[in-house]
Amino acid sequence: MKKLSVFLVISLMCGIAFAQQSLWGTQPAVSPEIHSDNTVTFRLKAPKAVTVQVTGDFLPTQKIDTPYGKYDVPGVVSLLENKEGVWEYTTPKPLKPELYTYSFILDGLKIDDPGNVYLIRDVATLMNVFIIDGGRAHLYKVNKVPHGTVSRVWYNSPTLGMDRRMTVYTPAGYENNGKHYPVLYLLHGMGGDEEAWIALGRTAQVMDNLIAEGKAKPMIVVMTNGNASQEAAPGESSLGFVSPSMQLPKTMDGSFETAFPDVVKFVDKNYRTIKRKSERAIAGLSMGGFHSLHISKQFPDMFDYVGLFSAAIMPDKDTKSPIYENMEGKLKVQFSKKPALYWIAIGKSDFLYKANEDYRKLLDEKGYKYTYYETGEGHIWRNWRIYLSEFAPLLFR
């Protein structure tokens, strides 16, 4: 018995030692280091490496050809090795206030920064993240303001024949005040899911800060999964740890639009919403903008506020669905009901810029009123965070 006790004590001590080694062992290089002038130094200790590079959206973009057109991707820059085997790169100029993402490339292999535990996922890519404070980026931080609640909620979609997951933001005080609230339905892009706007869009932080500053009305924000074939985000469904993919079935074939009333009915039944058109908004980025466009015209009495962020406009020419038929007729009905706000935003170098320009020409020809907001750069989260922070204050006024 004594031998067994000694064995258990030794095993426990070894476990603690290994745990402490993990916690207190060799530390990675400090990275990123944000200096007082907002220049940033990236470091990676890799004494056996041949080349180390960093890629991120703090660098000038470069264009690549994709099946969807020319696409902006982050640039790449090399780090220099010092005598301790630590590779370094310092930005030559201060970075503007923003939320930035980056990765290292070690001898051709993209890796995370071991000095930075903060990661976010965009489809199948993991990236480190940091914030340069100030300006609009202050909205992306957790500040000392009242905070809302973020919940992952399952609902049944009879139209799609499955239980599905959504992410719901309720404003500070919702649990205790008994008030009823307007609702913004906020939709993600292709390859995204119900986690995208919360993680990459910083929705909870943006809404907390805008509401606390009195710039936006308190509202519920519903971020459901826009992939009609999915129950939930990868790793969060009965499929287990499947790899995220851009190539999912039933994304832009009319299925999601047809099933969207299931989402609204669930939210109106389970949350204290104001159940009328004037207190509902729908907006989305890229594919989510496409969905917002077609849902709002398919159900013209459902939403009084519509936001198209870098939106795709029409489906592939081979796609056949009643949702996309008679578009001009449906737009005529929608605009005859005088939506309170129809808001279109896009970056000047976005590969969907021409499609949006053509769509605005159609609206102009018909005399339909809309608000247009243009930024620089392209099809990137930096723009979509801007659009949310501009669109939300306009709602439910």
The class of domain 33-132 in CATH terms is mainly beta
Query: For the residues 324-328, what does the mean pLDDT come to?
Result: 97
Q: What share of the chain has pLDDT > 70, as a percent?
A: 91
Are residues 143 and 206 in contact, defined by beta-carbon separation less than 8 angstroms?
A: no
> E-assigned strands of the chain?
33-34, 40-45, 52-56, 62-66, 69-73, 75-78, 80-81, 86-90, 98-106, 109-111, 119-122, 125-132, 149-157, 162-170, 183-187, 220-224, 280-285, 305-309, 341-347, 371-375
Pairwise CA distance, residues 292 & 306, whole Å: 7
User: Is the pLDDT assigned to residue 24 strictly greater than 60?
Assistant: no
Q: What is the pLDDT of residues 34-50, one digit of tens each?
A: 999 999 999 999 999 99
Q: Is it true that the peptide bond before 218 is cis, omega within 30 degrees of 0?
A: no
pLDDT of residue 245: 87
67 pLDDT band, cuts 50/70/90, is low
pLDDT of residue 62: 76
Nearest 5°: CA angle at 352, between 293 and 292?
A: 15
User: Is the pLDDT assigned to residue 359 strictly greater than 70?
Assistant: yes
pLDDT of residue 71: 65
Dihedral Cα 277, 282, 287, 291, nearest 10 deg = -10
Q: What is the CA radius of gyration of the chain?
A: 24
pLDDT of residue 246: 86
Collapse the DSSP code of 120 into the 3-class scheme (helix H, G, I; strand E, B; otherwise coil) and give the result.
Answer: strand
Q: What is the pLDDT of residues 242-275, one digit of tens each?
A: 989 888 988 999 999 999 999 999 999 999 999 9
Domains of the chain, by residue range, sit at 33-132, 140-394
Give the fold, CATH level 3, of 140-394: Rossmann fold (3.40.50)
Q: How many residues does the chain have?
A: 397
- Helices 255-270 & 287-298 angle (0-180, nearest 10): 80
Q: What is the pLDDT of residues 133-192, one digit of tens each?
A: 999 999 999 999 999 999 999 999 999 999 999 999 999 999 999 999 999 999 999 999
User: Is the pLDDT assigned to residue 13 strictly greater than 70?
Assistant: no
Q: Which residue has the higher pLDDT, 307 or 27?
A: 307
Q: What is the mean pLDDT of the chain?
A: 92
